[in-house]
Amino acid sequence: MQSHHCRADTTAPRKRRRFHAWSAALAALPAAILAIVLAGAGHAYAMERTARGDVAAKLGYCKDCHGLSAQGYHGYYPIPRLAGQQPQYVENQLRAFVEHRRTNNIMFNVSHSLSPSMMAALAEHFHALNPAPIGDGPRGRVAAGRAIFQDGMPDSNIAACAACHGPDATGAGDIPRLAGQLYPYLISKLVNWDKERGQLPAKPDTSAIMSPIAHSLNKSQVEAVASYLSYQK
């Protein structure tokens, strides 16, 4: 019959082996964690590079129509300046094209292919740009346009544009920046407001605010305001 002391000696090597195994496992744990972290970081970096590449590709496409630095383009149809535009407004308008709240067949196709995250990335990029305005309106109409924009037309019950768009016409949130916008584009949008905006009555948006104002301005007043805004930085 073996003594208690002998039995202890028999189990000791097994305990030592287990201890060494646990020690080795614990020693390897930081390396394993580091490997997982590095793998995750590598994947995140690859995803970020892909996202940056996707945004760059979309921006290259946007430049074809909206011009370098998104300053707008005088084509057969005037294409708007997006530089400096409010991000929230840009995202809302892209969704408006998708939802047919705003009509434009070209932009419907473009917007329909953009994910929400891509819309946000493009909007932030455009907001950061601030090239000099093209300033393409008749200078002789600037003073009259400034008066309408800053003070409104009380006799005609037309509020000052600056009340919503800000004294510098830079907008905020869903209210767009108008400073530096192309003269013919502004005229086209104001004259045709009810034909292009708010086209989905079941889903009204902020365009409803502008409808009575655009309707109240005559062509000469629209041209004056557009001329003034085309020079604003």
Question: Domain coordinates of the chain in residue numbers?
Answer: 15-64, 79-230
Helix, coil or strand: residue 211: helix
- Position 104: which residue type? N
- Range with lowest mean pLDDT among 32-36, 125-129, 145-149: 32-36
pLDDT of residue 21: 61
Helix, coil or strand: residue 113: coil
- For residue 155, give both structure tokens: 């006799």
**pLDDT of 128-174, one tens digit each?**
999 999 999 999 999 999 999 999 999 988 999 999 999 999 999 99
Q: What is the pTM of this model?
A: 0.77
- Class of the CATH domain delimited by 79-230: mainly alpha
User: 193-197, 212-216, 227-231: which has the highest mean pLDDT?
Assistant: 227-231
Q: Note whether 97 and 196 are within 8 A (CB).
A: no
| Category of 69 on φ-ψ map: left (φ > 0), alpha (ψ -120 to 50) or beta | left
Closest CA to 73 of 184, 229, 170: 184
C-alpha to C-alpha distances, 31 to 28, 36, 37, 125, 199, nearest whole angstrom: 5, 9, 10, 40, 60
Closest CA to 197 of 89, 116, 117, 112: 89
Burial grade of 28 (CB within 10 A; 0-12, 13-18, 19 or more): exposed
Q: Is the dihedral of CA 189, 179, 71, 176 positive or negative?
A: negative
Give how far the C-alpha of residue 5 lies from the chain's centroid of Cα atoms, to the nearest Å: 78
